[in-house]
Structure 1
């Protein structure tokens, strides 16, 4: 490409390279490195793009090919010296040379540009030290050091010039000169230049022009390293003296690098110049009192490299300094941990650690990682002190005291749960005590110090700690069991785990009492039962007492506990059978199993105990242990499909989506209680005249051929404003006051649904699927027949059922079924009465409860989706038939004030019924009353009407329907005949029975008054149509059977009121008065609309 890229193209290129790699392909055909380097000196390129180009070269265009180095060097040399980007360009050029070149170099292609670059850098570094560009000189020295590290020995022949420059530099740039001299001297020592007779500091001419050393132009030759010459030993001592002369000019990072170089150079000539080590101690010993961890690390490097130069006092001082650094709270956590790591990691300081025990106690607010490291130090000290046996019994007391005091930091107030990190830290410290006292041995299977540790005070104290923990803190039992498992799994410390189990058997089991709390110790019991070296008599006796206790405490509320704990006890017995000789445990274990078989209440546990007893008494010991180990599965899991749950299945192709289309034909989610009224003709209640919010608007099924007129659209219940600003003084009688008191009490217990979760209703359903079509759709290889057992049936795992609906039911939570078997064909469930609400529990059905939070009392459909896993690791997903929600699902009882006694609920319901009936009278003043709601945030008003309808059914049909569907909503029954009939049936209970009340005045205050003596002018059905009701009710009067009062409430419905600019909740309240007569039934009902404004809420009753 001949032309340069424009600034806009460079911006686009930089943007593409900073994003995904796919956007870079269109630029890769260009010589990007050449274009970037040639664009840097351009004056027409914006200045903000040049640093970005250098970053592009560093990040994406390096390492370049050696052919690009001359162009890169030319660009650098032609760059203006005073340009602000020259330093950045220098770093880029040096990085390119250091990454592209490697020895041996090509004399014709690689050596010339490298020599020119070193020439330019040496010229920059050789400027007078009083020049103001000391930062540029320091950068040149750092660049030379980078090239010398990439090409070792590049500056070995210029060591004399570098020595002179470093000695003459007095500015802050001296650090760069000293590091450059140290790097060049180290490579000179590595290359064996000290054995030459000529001085390594000899200067034959000026530093420039520079020529590449010959050893970089040819492959390296292996040669023996003869001793250095006397003149070079003297010269290298001069170099070391200069490097150590000014440690104060070095930063901590530079000091750490310098000490590493000095240690390497001094070690190479220490044999011929032993005084160097003492010089190093004098020059760098002051770092001991520094607070910088880098300087402490530098001093430790010299400690380890020259141990003879530092005495015992210096070692003690250094150990105390490291221990003190770990206690200084102002230090970073990494520095404090590093100090303890240095202290324990070096053999030089390890013998000094016991004397520093008081420094290792964790503080209250130490980080947990630091506490763990300090506890490791205390464990080391305790193990060493107990092993030394110094000062008689005081050593043992000191060791146990260290362990107890150290654990206080993680258990001072209380032991945290077993899964907590603090508990893990405490048990790690206990484990470290054993590991330090008896280290792992690679030569022998058993630890060499096992016998001494078993008799040591620290081991006995550790056992006592664990016994007390298990006895006082049941939550730590799983951790103690895991601690014991870790010891048993180690070949070197298996003896410690066995001894610990014997101690728990001897000291812990006598402390335990049978009961439900004993289940916490079952993990330990299983470990004891697995170990052949632990006697089982105490454990069997305790388990026998446990089974007796479970039998005595068994009851209706403890069935699950009895089954769970009894199964675990029998499981422990099974472990004993597998790991112990039958002759050792036969008598006590057979007594335990016989007791379980005879008296334990759970059938499954008795069967398992019977199997274990039969194996114990009939199968020889060796064969029994072999049989118990065959086909061993994870404990507590019994696979119903062998080979499918515990084997890794082979990969299968993804299931074809066509097999999911008819999923609803064989996977069923069905209501347990079927709907009485089919809601296929309308899915929502009609909207009122007020406008609903758009998000909640649902269209009903309407007749498109008839458009309602404007007058019809305007009809509907008008909701009046709650607040009345002008109201005249009213005179109210005692009956009206009593009605208002009942209504106020009722509304005071209604929650504020506008500012809280709404009412919730639950629909119980059953979930099942058919085996034959399922196997056909999912290509299962297992045959299914009506007589096959459950193991041959297909299964679904991890079933997740999700719900959604266009109706206003809120967010419907999903349901989960962990496991379900397919329903076999011909299982007897093909013909089920549609009204059977008490289906027996089946192993092929799962109970699913759909939880709704309806925003309005309307029916609707719930869409059902399913996702599950099959036995063959296939993922099944799709839609099922929708579930219908009917209006009867939303029937609710009225709220009862909390101060109402249980015996007074029926009377309260009756009083509320009459109060609501009275409130809807056109002549009543209660309709103008406002009632405060629960919480005092809002109020409600009542607006209702009354009406009378004729239900063309016989009394028998009506009574049967009420008893079957509305029994829980009946408030009271009046009339001697009707009371006798309903009370004799025994279905309707806990209501008010009005036997002596006259039925003639029941409907006297209705909108259309009615009574046995006045005709409603409504056509009644003939006597011939009574039919089925004549047998039972023929002896009763045909006009005076009685009245049933029914009161049903529904969820609220929200509306946006345009006039008041707020959200209202409207609740329709319909109470029914059913007058039963032989000729027919008269239903007098009121529609009581209760509206609440702003933050109030009301009840909706049908």
Structure 2
């Protein structure tokens, strides 16, 4: 009894460990190593006292995360060998455990590259699987091996899929096994044979000098496994599919294909779809087999209600186009898709699938091959009358229908389809009325998504755009909490339609709605939403901002907002000011904005807001527009800067490089001496005096009472010949001189406000005051 309790407690702890591992493998392995955890797991699997269900739970780790516990091929080989040993020791009655062990071994061999590197455990395991599937109709093992054989077929098919051509020399054996199997496992054998046959045909297309002998040898092969790796490229269209030579005899291949198509009637829908896709890909590589071989399948495929079969049909159409499907077939298939997209007995995901099929329909003569959503030419407004959205549809179905109908009526003229477009507009207005009547959160999100979809197609129509802008403005005036939705709508439209003026029109209308709003409608809560809108409006260069500033200054002066000390409101106002500081028309509203910031720095009774407002005011009044914009536009590495208040301007490397003085590699400025003409040059010419005579002449001048002991040198400060566009526009210059204080007095720094390469050079004067005569030079 005590031993049973101990085992139960151990397995309970294992359940917790497995749950923790599956929740976060990296976090779990931080307390141990993959090797030790795998060793414990394998040891528990070898425990004969543990229940099968517990062992299956342990195997789930190897099925979900094989490469975490077996990071190398050697580790995978050892783990697979251990699992094979456990499989051999598992009693026949533990069918479920044996199946899971086979799946785990297959998973490890594939994921750790043991299969592609032909390890010994892989070869032994493949022979073991093939031995299992040779027992057709359970003649030897009985019904107890029924599920095991099905799992063996699936394991072999997965290994063939990951190593194309692995079974290409066993096609005859697989064919006879398929023919002999009369139980429900005939489907599994058929799928395994089809996968191997398709890959074998593809490998033949990659070889040179293919003749009938090579083709027959492949179809009648009953040899070992083929370990030569083959990179199988999945083709997307018939033009990209490699093909066999047209001179070969394909009668046997055609016979096999026809037999597989006849047997498809006995298979489940998912298996039928997989079989059809494989056969379509194979027939596309064989020029001797006409796509018309699938003609007998089209009638039942057109009438199917199974999603997977319809998907296979569309894949077939995309591959063969008009070589298999006539124009009448194409029109009938489209009508079928439209009918299924609104069938009342279908579930919502299935309806969405059929609508997606319409928008990605593989036409016989496609106008565009971009792969994006496009409307088939045969889809007309009359054909889609039953797909008009209603407010009673679920949100996803309604949005998909709206998108489809917008595409249908986009190019229809008023004479033919004015009523359909008016219906779409009325539907949009109905959705907005639901939002206006305090609709749920889901209805709000759905309505704005619908507006977005509608604008993607009809934003170029001015009358419809203006009607929507007016409706959204009225909606916001009564529901200011919709500010985030409106901002997001404007942002998304700008992202998709860069040239559209609709977002600017919407923001301008919202700005006008806010600044013209009566004071009695303004509350502290609504003001927060209004400020979010105004902050977004301030980012638009095409919208004048003076009315925004006047509105903000008015509510600050004529209300007790400053005394209420609301940090959130103050930060929201500063967010607006931040965007205004970056506005291209800042010069036109300089006085108003400075008044606003100065008022906040003096009267807003929150120290943090005052400090930020004062800092903004300092930036505004002391920096040029270019430098101000460059500082405020800086964002931290790895993301967008949070636009809330001035606290968003943080000390960063980019900001520091913008404000500090950098050491240049070469000279970027130079001083050019200005030569004066006139009486100041009277006297002996320096050009005809020697250095000694010039020195004596200067000493004589010092004996003159009115001679000033100052030397004023005039220079033009210009750019050097080095062309560096970074320094073409310099806004602040400080000239600092290092002098020999034993002979000269200190020279004051010279400040130059700005220097542009394309403007007139700035003239500076350097005043030297010598203590006594002493030669020097300016470097």
Task: Encode CA deviations 1:622-645: one digit per residue, 9 max, x unaligned.
Answer: 48966995999977757699979x
Alignment CA distance shift 1:234-1:539 (3 Å): same
**Matching residue within 485, 503, 509 for 1:497:** 503
Match for 2:356 among 341, 344, 350? Answer: 341
Tell me what 2:773 maps to.
Answer: none
Q: Of residues 190, 194, 212 in structure 2, which corresponds to 1:197?
A: 212
Q: Distance in 1 between matches of 2:107 and 2:460?
A: 61
The C-alpha deviation readout for 1:482-541, integer Å capped at 9, x for no partner, is 4334445678246443344345567x4696434342835343334444433223465567
Mapped partners of 1:491, 1:272: distance in 2: 49
Kindly indicate whether the alpha-carbon contact (under 8 Å) linking 1:498 and 1:531 is maintained by their aligned counterparts in 2.
yes
What is the correspondence of 1:424-439 to structure 2 with a 5 Å cutoff?
424-436=445-457
**CA-CA distance at 1:405 after TM superposition:** 0.6
Q: Report the CA distance shift for 1:463/1:317 in structure 2 as closer, same or farther (over 3 A).
A: farther
Change (3 A) 1:176 1:575: closer
Q: Which residue of 2 aligns with 1:422?
A: 443
Does 2:228 match 1:212?
A: no
Offset from partner CA, 1:152-199 (integer Å, 9 cap, x none)? 434333323433443455543331232122122112113218945237
SS of 2:310's equivalent in the other structure is helix
> Once structures 1 and 2 are overlaid, which stretch shifts more, 523-532 or 176-185?
523-532
Matched, 1:239 2:261: no
Give yes or no for contact 1:174–1:249 (8 Å, CA) kept in 2.
Answer: no
Q: Could you tell me whether the CA contact under 8 Å between 2:565 and 2:606 is conserved in 1?
A: no
Give the C-alpha shift of residue 247 in structure 1: 2.8
The structural deviation recorded for 1:237 is 1.6
Please name the residue that 2:271 is paired with: 254
What is the RMSD computed on CA atoms of the aligned residues? 5.8
Preserved contact between residue 375 and residue 429 of structure 1 (Cα < 8 Å):
yes
Q: Spell out, residue by residue over 1:18-74, the C-alpha distance to the aligned partner (whole angstroms, 9 max, x if none).
A: 44388999998989869967x8xxxxx67x845655765675698886689899879
The alignment status of 1:105 with 2:126, answered yes or no, reads: no
Within a 5 Å distance, the mapping from 1:193-592 to structure 2 comes to 195-198=210-213, 211-213=223-225, 215-216=226-227, 227-228=244-245, 233-269=250-286, 271-273=287-289, 275=290, 277-308=291-322, 309-328=324-343, 331-346=346-361, 348=363, 350-351=375-376, 355=381, 357-364=384-391, 366-368=393-395, 370-371=396-397, 374-379=398-403, 381-382=405-406, 385-386=409-410, 388=411, 390-392=413-415, 395=417, 398-406=420-428, 408-409=430-431, 411-412=433-434, 414-416=436-438, 420-436=441-457, 454=460, 456-488=462-494, 492-493=498-499, 495-504=501-510, 508=513, 512-517=517-522, 519=527, 520-536=529-545, 547=555, 551=558, 560=564, 576=580, 579=583, 581=585, 584-585=588-589, 589=592
Residue 590 of structure 1 contacts residue 613 of structure 1 at CA under 8 Å; is this kept in 2?
no
SS at match of 1:272: coil
- Aligned partners of 2:250 and 2:288 also within 8 Å: yes
- 1:160–1:202: 8 Å Cα contact kept in structure 2? no
User: What TM-score do the two structures reach when normalised by structure 1?
Assistant: 0.44
User: Aligned pair in 2 of structure 1 residues 305, 13: CA closer, same or farther (>3 Å)?
Assistant: farther
Alpha carbons of structure 1 residues 522 and 422: separation in structure 2 relative to 1, 3 Å: same
Secondary structure (helix, strand or coil) at the match of 1:227 reads: coil
> Could you report, residue by residue, the CA deviation over 1:802-847 in whole angstroms, capped at 9, with x for unpaired residues?
xxxxxxxxxxxxxxxxxxxxxxxxxxxxxxxxxxxxxxxxxxxxxx
Determine if contact 2:168/2:197 at 8 Å carries over to the other structure. yes
Cα distance change, pair 177–469 in 1 and its aligned pair in 2 (3 A) = same
C-alpha displacement of 1:265: 1.0
What is the rounded CA distance, in whole Å, between the counterparts of 1:640 and 1:149 in structure 2? Answer: 54
Give the Cα separation in 2 of the matches to 1:340 and 1:76. 48
Q: Which structure is higher in RCO with an 8 Å CA cutoff and minimum separation 6? A: 1
SS of equivalent residue, structure 2 residue 261: helix
Distance 1:9 1:191, change over 3 A: farther
Retained in 1: the 8 A contact 2:95–2:144?
A: no
Does the 8 Å contact 1:427/1:483 carry over to 2? yes
Task: Go from structure 1 to structure 2 and tell me whether the alpha carbon gap of 1:380 and 1:515 turns closer, same or farther (over 3 Å shift).
Answer: farther
Tell me the TM-score normalized by structure 2. 0.59
Q: Distance in 2 between matches of 1:98 and 1:623?
A: 61
Measured in 2, the distance between the counterparts of 1:146 and 1:582 equals 66
**Distance (whole Å) between structure 1 residues aligned to residue 617 and residue 174 of structure 2:** 93
Provide, for residues 534-590 of structure 1, a one-character-per-residue CA deviation record: whole Å limited to 9, x for no partner: 23465567668x559x73xx58x9963999989977985786565254664479x49
With 568-577 and 463-472 compared, the bigger mean Cα shift is at 568-577
CA distance in 2, matches of 1:305, 1:334: 25
Give the Cα–Cα distance (whole angstroms) in 1 for the partners of residues 45 and 32 of structure 2: 19
Q: CA–CA distance in 1 between the matches of 2:175 and 2:457?
A: 51
Mapped to 2, the partners of 1:69 and 1:377 lie a distance apart of 51
Gapped runs of 5+ residues in structure 2?
19-30, 233-240, 364-373, 636-640, 656-779
Deviation at 1:239, TM superposition (A): 1.9
Instruction: Give 1:264 deviation, angstroms.
Output: 1.6
Aligned residue among 85, 89, 105 for 2:94: 85
Distance 1:9 1:183, change over 3 A: farther
Relative to total residues, which structure has the larger strand share, 1 or 2? 1
Evaluate the alpha carbon distance shift between residue 284 and residue 180 of structure 1 in structure 2; reply closer, same or farther with a 3 A threshold. farther
Structure 1: 5+ residue stretches without partners = 1-5, 40-44, 438-452, 648-1102
In structure 2, the CA distance between the partners of 1:581 and 1:564, relative to structure 1 (3 Å rule), is same
The answer to whether the Cα contact below 8 Å between 2:507 and 2:537 also exists between their aligned partners in 1 is: yes
- Measured in 2, the distance between the counterparts of 1:603 and 1:60 equals 63
Aligned length: 591
Cα shift readout 1:564-620 (whole Å, capped 9, x = no counterpart): 989977985786565254664479x499979989xx998899999998999999889
Structure label with greater radius of gyration? 1
Asked if the contact 1:596/1:609 (under 8 Å) is kept, the reply is no
1:382–1:398 contact (8 Å) kept in structure 2: no
Cα 1:342–1:93, aligned 2, differ >3 Å: closer, same or farther?
same
In the alignment, is the contact (CA less than 8 A) between 1:505 and 1:539 conserved in 2? Answer: yes
C-alpha contact 1:192 1:225 (8 A) present in aligned 2: no
Equivalents in 1 of 2:530, 2:645: separation in Å? 20
What secondary structure sits across from 1:84 in the alignment?
coil
Query: How far is 1:266 from its partner?
Result: 1.8
Distance 1:118 1:178 in 2: 15
